[in-house]
Structure 1
């Protein structure tokens, strides 16, 4: 009998491994998991290439608050708590404005995937107008909302410091919303690095003017909290100018910067942007509002618990911005595949972003636990505040995974232009499940600050689970429909 070498057997058996119709059960068990994992992990490089500028850009936004917190924290616990209180209203307004601007990205991405420049240009122009109107509207709303701070059972000295800070930062909503329009447009074309450049350089501007105006360096007056607010305002005007200047000069974007008067009057385009933007704004509002509620709940416990809450929130926000970057990536790549009607690739790419954010957030969770006693010392030297913040970081570590997953899955659903049901899911998760837990466990005679954060953990976990079920159902339905019509 002729001898058959091991090399010959392997060579002959290779088609059996690669042909799904001929794989035997044992080969399936041994090889299928490896094929599946590699199908996702090979997308990590492209995902990160799109995501990292968004991550850094979003971290840049958080860094504005971080710089304000660190510099103001040197003035004491009350000024730090005042920045937290003032920003609590700003963040609510910001969530609405950014949510509306997010409508631009999936529409641009879908038009780009279909190779339709004229449609993409129309969405871009209408998006700028929408964001400009939103900026003015939010500025006015924040000014009108100032008296609310006096009725939230907050320490009086904190409220008195927060009002002047809020008045100045509110005006910065106008340049920031216009910046968002340019940013989301560029993101939709997978050109995410320009917004990153603008944000990071703007942070240098913010640090410079904070230093000069908070402490009264050189010829500048000592304005303390108002100085921090002015630094933020100046940096946001700079950020808008920078991204406008850099985008209009790039060859890839020149066609989109050709304006026509008739573009202003297309009501169906505004309706399309609003139909996507309003539910997205509500999604962000529901999440930001529950984190804002923690500021108010912590304020009822006293100045030190509120300062500790602000430190933990700021640190958690920094890691959350990494997940936001991958959420934008999911929106862009899912939107591209939707434009190409390639739903099999759409699912594979989406799940690759889910896996990637899970792994990254797991690392952050470990980091929060390991460095929980050291991280708060960056902000303040008050021992009681440091100890409270360290406890909160343990809970923050636990919800890193669910927080990261839910924002990336939301991004994937946004790429499918599915926004209404996810909005309902977010409301249920945060306000039917999460907030009641925070309210009842966050009382001083129950668990205090820790109880507030257990509510956040419950809400974010519920959101991640329900949104995953929604995306899996929708993407499977699209895939089956396309296969049936093929």
Structure 2
């Protein structure tokens, strides 16, 4: 094939991915706004937000991972023109995601004492606990929202979740300003004010996507809940069989990034604050790749439904190439602006210097991180989740974490050493996942060709 066979798909890929990118950036912007506003209160409050969100992000990765199972099932049913199956996947997925939200809320409440045993600065832990109490409740509306989002994504209608998340950011900014600093009749709650802003914005986000989807003719047939409609445990089982490994994939990756927070905390308050700044900036560019990963799931899932496997492989490779080019641009920007971007977060010379060093390493793993999440999306579209889960565990925890732990000691490279482990883990993941996709896509093509020859 010629290069143009891949580049001609860029426009279609971006049309699907762009709303997802903005929507995912909207999620990250909630954290960015919290960090920027809390950073004005000092290094300890900023580190407390980082520590409190560490456990929240782990829980969030589990819930979002489960909800990701909805998208390939909806996409395959849509590609095959099977409305009944698509509606059933949506209804069962919504029920499962809502239950997950309640479960994760309770889990976070029970896990708070863990923060006292992680050798973190005491002042940081004291500030993090009340913040985490409130943010934990936001798991309930967030997980229900995810079910609606993944359903709409599966139908290639990615813009509605974008609208919801962007408007939710406006709500978050308003209530952050009112409640962090105290304005008019509102009390000055500082960190707890940021948590209340997050909670209110996520309830708004759920309400908005429910309202907008139920009013659109494209979704009308899916919102019909028959009184005779039964709960089918085999549908729950199918969603679980896809969702649980996907949740583990996200858990393994989020957990290693969370581990950097704890390892940085062992180095002190300033290294932990610098680590939070670098993570927040890296996560914003990562959301671009997540958008293309969702695109890969949708488009590959559609091709599975139509059984056009040569097109499946070509389309997937076009998305891999696109994300590589985009992340290369971000890597260059990270290097050029490494001394400037941290100054928007905090006025502390040591924190800024440490964060600028971390951004150099972040620039290097932009490529690996972007490629691996898109390949994971393509494999999810193939409904291949178990072996990729094993690959993620090996890459992050057998390869990446030991590197972070060893080189992240004070006598080694400190904060930069921690991030060397991230670079090693993400690069290993990208290579191994590509080998897996290459094998499966070629196998599908060969199998179909043999069937055609036999007929």
Identify which of 74, 77, 81 aligns with 1:115. 81
Map 1:7-156 → 2, pairs under 5 A: 36-156=2-122
Is 1:450 the counterpart of 2:419? The answer is: no
Distance in 2 between residues matched to 1:36 and 1:237, nearest whole Å: 48
**Which residue of the partner structure matches residue 272 of structure 1?**
238
Helix, strand or coil: the match of 2:212?
A: helix
**Which residue of the partner structure matches residue 394 of structure 2?**
428
Q: Could you tell me how far 1:261 is from its partner in structure 2?
A: 4.2
Q: Could you tell me how far 1:442 is from its partner in structure 2?
A: 0.2
**Which residue of the partner structure matches residue 411 of structure 1?**
377
Map 1:54-453 → 2, pairs under 5 A: 54-453=20-419
Deviations 1:435-472 (A, max 9, x none): 00000000011110000000000000000000000000
Q: Could you tell me how far 1:302 is from its partner in structure 2?
A: 0.1
Q: Could you tell me how far 1:365 is from its partner in structure 2?
A: 0.1
Deviations 1:133-165 (A, max 9, x none): 000000000000000000000000000000000
Q: Could you tell me how far 1:265 is from its partner in structure 2?
A: 1.7
- Number of residue-to-residue matches in the alignment: 452
Q: Could you tell me how far 1:260 is from its partner in structure 2?
A: 2.4
Unmatched tracts of structure 2, length 5 or more: none
TM-score normalized by structure 2? 0.99
Unmatched tracts of structure 1, length 5 or more: 1-34
Distance in 2 between residues matched to 1:185 and 1:260, nearest whole Å: 19
CA contact (8 A) 1:106 1:417 kept: yes
CA RMSD of aligned residues (A): 0.6
| Higher alpha-carbon Rg | 1
Distance in 2 between residues matched to 1:373 and 1:116, nearest whole Å: 53
**Which residue of the partner structure matches residue 4 of structure 1?**
none
Runs of 4+ in 1 over 4 A off after TM superposition: none
Helix, strand or coil: the match of 1:300?
A: helix
Deviations 1:73-103 (A, max 9, x none): 0000000000000000000000000000000
Distance in 2 between residues matched to 1:468 and 1:426, nearest whole Å: 12
Helix, strand or coil: the match of 1:464?
A: helix
Deviations 1:255-274 (A, max 9, x none): 00001245452000000000
Q: Could you tell me how far 1:377 is from its partner in structure 2?
A: 0.4
Distance in 2 between residues matched to 1:380 and 1:360, nearest whole Å: 28
TM-score normalized by structure 1? 0.93
CA contact (8 A) 1:126 1:263 kept: no
Distance in 2 between residues matched to 1:125 and 1:366, nearest whole Å: 44
CA contact (8 A) 1:72 1:80 kept: yes
Distance in 1 between residues matched to 2:229 and 2:63, nearest whole Å: 22
Distance in 2 between residues matched to 1:258 and 1:406, nearest whole Å: 37
Distance in 1 between residues matched to 2:323 and 2:386, nearest whole Å: 24
Distance in 2 between residues matched to 1:388 and 1:401, nearest whole Å: 22
